[in-house]
């Protein structure tokens, strides 16, 4: 079988592209349906740009999490279609994936301070082609605010709950719906919350069926997993 130079070049980069400081997984979209995502935190500006270049050459789509305005400026200077979702701390390049389903992912927060983590989940889920709705600041300190939204909660296919402090909202939601609930403990809270460990333990110890938990402040992980369930 003959192969042209272009095909040979693609084969050489499978299953990853070697950069020395990183091995960019250019084959991931073929294996799991979505391309590699850049976690910007802990990487230098130069490393992020070089990784982004490899990803965009392979797929024309980019999602970069835990980003800031400096990183966005560097990305934007090379790819004009870059968009900075400031509250989510996410950079996307090119269009979101086409909607794969009309099933809804609903994102709830216990408080206003949990919104940045919820927005990370929202942008991620939308990027992956999902319909997303959001209801913010419905924590257990004013539980009546949650119960006024029962119709929206019960009509969702998957629910993400971002909560810091005591993290109790995930259990409450799990107790009033038959749909899967993804708890996201946030680092919001006072000293005894231990930067999110207290709500993490609360959610892990939930007695409500159907509640699973991602890591502290991991809005991306929640949005990605919700997309897998939704599709």
* Residue-range domains of the chain with CATH: 5-93 (no CATH), 104-230 (3.40.50.1970)
Give the residue with greater pLDDT, 33 vs 111: 111
Instruction: Give the start-end residues of each E strand in the chain.
Output: 17-18, 23-24, 38-39, 62-65, 82-85, 90-93, 104-109, 131-135, 158-163, 181-185, 211-213
Number of CB atoms found within 10 A of residue 85's CB:
20
Among the listed residues 148, 157, 152, 154, the one whose alpha carbon sits nearest the alpha carbon of residue 125: 157
CA neighbours closer than 13 Å in the CB half-sphere of residue 48: 24
Which stretch of 11-15, 45-49, 102-106, 136-140 has the lowest confidence by average pLDDT? Answer: 11-15
Residue 15 has pLDDT above 90, yes or no: no
Give the residue with greater pLDDT, 189 vs 27: 189
User: Mean of the pLDDT values across residues 188-212?
Assistant: 93
Number of CB atoms found within 10 A of residue 121's CB:
31
Give the residue with greater pLDDT, 112 vs 12: 112
Hey, is 136 helix, strand or coil?
A: coil
Among the listed residues 60, 127, 130, the one whose alpha carbon sits nearest the alpha carbon of residue 96: 127
pLDDT category of residue 31 using cuts at 50, 70 and 90: confident
Beta pairing class for 62-65 and 90-93? antiparallel
Residue 60: the pLDDT is 80
Residue 6: the pLDDT is 54
Rounded CA separation 56/50 (Å)? 10
Give the residue with greater pLDDT, 214 vs 95: 214
Rounded CA separation 211/204 (Å)? 8
| Crossing angle of helices 115-127 and 219-230, rounded to 10° | 40
Number of CB atoms found within 10 A of residue 7's CB:
10
Residue 113: the pLDDT is 96
User: pLDDT per residue over 43-68, tens digit each?
Assistant: 999 999 999 998 888 888 899 999 99
Residue 12: the pLDDT is 52
Residue 87: the pLDDT is 95
Tell me what percent of the residues of the chain surpass a pLDDT of 90.
69
Which stretch of 10-19, 40-49, 192-201 has the lowest confidence by average pLDDT? Answer: 10-19
Hey, is 214 helix, strand or coil?
A: coil
């Amino acid at each position: 079988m003959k192969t042209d130079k272009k095909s040979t070049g693609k084969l050489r980069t499978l299953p990853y592209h070697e950069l020395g400081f990183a091995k960019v997984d250019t084959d991931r979209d073929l294996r799991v349906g979505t391309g590699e995502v850049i976690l910007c935190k802990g990487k230098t500006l130069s490393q992020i740009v070089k990784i982004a270049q490899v990803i965009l050459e392979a797929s024309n789509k980019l999602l970069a999490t835990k980003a800031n305005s400096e990183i966005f400026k560097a990305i934007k200077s090379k790819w004009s279609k870059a968009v900075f979702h400031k509250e989510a701390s996410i950079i996307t390049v090119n269009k979101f994936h086409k909607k794969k389903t009309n099933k809804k992912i609903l994102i709830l927060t216990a408080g206003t301070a949990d919104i940045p983590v919820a927005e990370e989940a929202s942008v991620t889920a939308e990027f992956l082609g999902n319909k997303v709705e959001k209801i913010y600041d419905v924590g257990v300190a004013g539980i009546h605010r949650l119960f006024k939204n029962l119709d929206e909660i019960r009509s969702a296919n998957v629910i993400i709950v971002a909560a810091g402090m005591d993290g109790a909202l995930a259990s409450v939601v799990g107790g009033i719906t038959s749909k899967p609930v993804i708890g996201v403990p946030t680092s919001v809270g006072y000293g005894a919350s231990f930067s999110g460990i207290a709500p993490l333990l609360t959610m892990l110890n939930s007695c409500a069926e159907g509640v699973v938990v991602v890591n502290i402040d991991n809005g991306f992980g929640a949005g990605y997993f919700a997309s897998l369930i939704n599709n």
